[in-house]
Structure 1
Amino acid sequence: MSKPVSNSKHGKRYNALVGKVDRDRQYSIDEAAALVKELATAKFDETVEVHFRLGIDPRKSDQNVRGTVALPHGTGRTVRIAVVTKGENVALAEAAGADIVGSEELIERILGGFMDFDAVVATPDMMAQVGQKLARLLGPRGLLPNPKSGTVGPDVAGMVRSLKAGRIEFRNDKTGVVHAPIGKASFENGNLSANYQALIAALEGAKPASAKGQYVRSAYLSSTMGPSIPLTLGSGS
């Protein structure tokens, strides 16, 4: 992953923030959490993200990384959940906090352009229709329900509660980099650190058996509008 440096492509504000990051060192997560909060100077509560460059070949399907993790302090954002189910699961999903619940009529509504949600959950009895009708629409957006991401299963209430509580999905992009949120700039330093530790543990647990050499090559912490901060890697990385 390239390291951003101060240049004319950025404004004075950004370049001033870059100057506060020592590019010749790696920061512990505790140090980086404190610094990323200092650098988050936008007028809104910036999201704090971690970016991992992995030692994988994303062109090989057996080296792609995908998993989920329940962040102990959540993400700081409200997750809008659509649930595709029917029968008694409708009431269970609604009671668990789902924002919109339906079966065939919800599928048709999504096909018609309704996209006011951040995650889609489905029960197995609806997946044939979801896959057939919505795969092309939801797949490219990373919203297609999948058992590996914990969004397909019989326990619809449990899936909804888990997503609302701060469970996130992570996966590598086509360059072998994983981007994942770990909270907001308003979080306490310790909460950002704890979320990071949970994420990297899950990332290590998702290491492909076929991946050789150093798995986590580098890691950076950043806020929505701020520069990235190089992170030190533990011995297990």
Structure 2
Amino acid sequence: MSKKLTKNKKKIIDKIYKKKYSLEEAIFLIKEIDFVKFDASVDISVRLGIDIRLPHQVVRGTVLLPHGTGKNVCILALVPKNKESEAKKAGADYVGLKYIEKIKSGWTDVDVIVATPSVMNQLGTIGKILGPKGLMPNPKMETVSINPEKSIEEIKSGKITFKADRYGIVHASVGKVSFSHKYLLDNLEKFMKIIVRNKPSTSKGSYIKSIYLSSTMSYGIPLDLKSFVNK
């Protein structure tokens, strides 16, 4: 059985690097090359023509994926007492400022932290813990809000955040291999539309340099940039 799998893998690898694929073709291929025994995530990596040393060329933002990510996102709501009940109803897994002390002790078992502007001055002491993990609430990522319930509901229903790394690459999970072709296509098209819309006005030359689609532990499939508006 393992020999057959290795043969299949070799065939797929040979196939992948013969050309660049349209988004539609890549989605079919991603399902074909998925050999893991769990429902793998579908990930996209977009290399951008930006100079990340310049603050005004940092590409970051949020996308509300039409069909969600297929993941159960664990949310901590750092909100004042009068907002706790609404945050719980909206779907927050953990609620309350008591978690600040827990974070000081090293606890960070959440995917996203949502906060109100009124509590941000209390988070300075845990900034060094949350910052490196990408958990610090940020108005640009819409995780600092006067309406935290809305933010929580949107995150639970499929809103993701993105930010170009130090190499100018944006990485994001946009669904699961088990998603239908249409669901993955809808999510990917929405994601790329927002990436294109976030092009810095000072960015020169080609904005989108390369795009790869992959699933958990799979090889990256190179996409044909003609599938997208390359402004």
TM score, norm. by length of structure 1: 0.91
Asked whether the 8 Å contact 2:9–2:33 carries over to 1, the reply is no
Asked whether the 8 Å contact 2:21–2:222 carries over to 1, the reply is yes
| 1:61–1:15 distance in 2 versus 1, CA, 3 Å | farther
Q: What amino acid maps onto 2:88 in structure 1?
A: E
Q: What amino acid maps onto 2:106 in structure 1?
A: G
Write out per-residue CA displacement over residues 63-115 of structure 1, whole angstroms, 9 at most, x where no aligned residue: 11001000001001000000101122100000001000011x21011111222
Shift of residue 61, structure 1, vs aligned partner: 1.5
- Structure 1 residue runs of 4 or more that deviate by more than 3 Å after TM superposition: 11-17
Q: Which residue of 2 aligns with 1:217?
A: 209
Write out per-residue CA displacement over residues 40-71 of structure 1, whole angstroms, 9 at most, x where no aligned residue: 11011111101111001112211110010000
Q: What amino acid maps onto 2:100 in structure 1?
A: I
5 Å matches for 1:98-137? Answer: 98-103=92-97, 105-130=98-123, 132-137=124-129
| 1:85–1:213 distance in 2 versus 1, CA, 3 Å | same
Q: What amino acid maps onto 1:57 in structure 2?
A: D
In the alignment, structure 1 residue 147 sits paired with structure 2 residue 139: yes
Q: What amino acid maps onto 1:141 in structure 2?
A: K
Q: Which residue of 1 aligns with 2:173?
A: 181
Asked whether the 8 Å contact 2:114–2:143 carries over to 1, the reply is yes
Q: Which residue of 1 aligns with 2:13?
A: 18
1:158 maps to which of 150, 162, 171: 150
Q: What amino acid maps onto 2:171 in structure 1?
A: H
Shift of residue 16, structure 1, vs aligned partner: 4.7
Asked whether the 8 Å contact 1:14–1:227 carries over to 2, the reply is no
Query: 1: distance between equivalents of 2:198 and 2:42?
Result: 22
Query: 1: distance between equivalents of 2:178 and 2:121?
Result: 42
Secondary structure of the corresponding residue to residue 19 of structure 1: helix
Q: Which residue of 2 aligns with 1:82?
A: 76
Query: 2: distance between equivalents of 1:29 and 1:213?
Result: 23
Query: 2: distance between equivalents of 1:186 and 1:160?
Result: 25
Please tell me the root mean square deviation across aligned C-alpha atoms, in Å. Answer: 1.4
Shift of residue 142, structure 1, vs aligned partner: 0.9
Q: Percent identity?
A: 42
Query: 1: distance between equivalents of 2:228 and 2:96?
Result: 47
Q: What amino acid maps onto 1:231 in structure 2?
A: L
5 Å matches for 1:61-100? Answer: 61-100=55-94
Q: What amino acid maps onto 1:108 in structure 2?
A: E
Shift of residue 19, structure 1, vs aligned partner: 2.4
Secondary structure of the corresponding residue to residue 15 of structure 2: coil
Deviates more, 1:108-117 or 1:88-97: 108-117
| 1:136–1:16 distance in 2 versus 1, CA, 3 Å | farther
Secondary structure of the corresponding residue to residue 31 of structure 1: helix
TM score, norm. by length of structure 2: 0.93
Q: Which residue of 1 aligns with 2:194?
A: 202
Query: 2: distance between equivalents of 1:99 and 1:117?
Result: 9
Q: What amino acid maps onto 1:69 in structure 2?
A: V
Query: 1: distance between equivalents of 2:99 and 2:134?
Result: 18
Query: 1: distance between equivalents of 2:8 and 2:166?
Result: 31
Query: 2: distance between equivalents of 1:15 and 1:227?
Result: 11
Aligned length: 224
Asked whether the 8 Å contact 2:81–2:96 carries over to 1, the reply is no
| 1:13–1:88 distance in 2 versus 1, CA, 3 Å | farther
**Structure 2 unpaired stretches of 5+:** 1-5
Query: 2: distance between equivalents of 1:213 and 1:31?
Result: 27
Q: Which residue of 2 aligns with 1:5?
A: none
